[in-house]
Amino acid sequence: MKKHFTLGLLILTSVSACNSLESQANYLEPLYSVNVKATEITFEVKSNGCTRADDFHIGIAPVNETNRLWIERLNMDRCRKMPRIIEITKGYDGSKVDIDRPIILENLLLVKPANRR
């Protein structure tokens, strides 16, 4: 009985780990800066060499008295170059945005590391 329980727990853990790896592809990307304009957003993210604008989805929606903004990564950067912070500009549908309402960013905002020599 104990062997079956251990085997079942091992299988459950393996399946859970596989599902979590798949779900990591879509997550709110930590940002180093963000600049919102009427029809486009410019933001900085960490890249290993393969990050492109198409890897992200811009979401913006009115909620109560604010606009909620989130930048979701759709595709992981699987390259192996030295990580660096890059700037990406991407258009978005601004028709849903009330410019008189403040924007709340759902992503984490990180401090850009100082340049080291």
Residue-by-residue DSSP string for 23-67: HTTSEEPPBSEEEE-SSEEEEEEEESS---GGGEEEEEEEETTEE
- Both tokens assigned to 53: 């604008």
With CA atoms as reference, report the closest residue to 59 among 49, 67, 51: 67
Model confidence over 75-112: pLDDT tens digits? 999 999 999 999 999 998 888 788 789 999 999 999 99
Confidence (pTM): 0.74
Looking at the DSSP bridge assignments, the partners of residue 84 are 47
**Residue scoring higher pLDDT (20 or 72):** 72
| pLDDT higher than threshold 80 for residue 16 | no
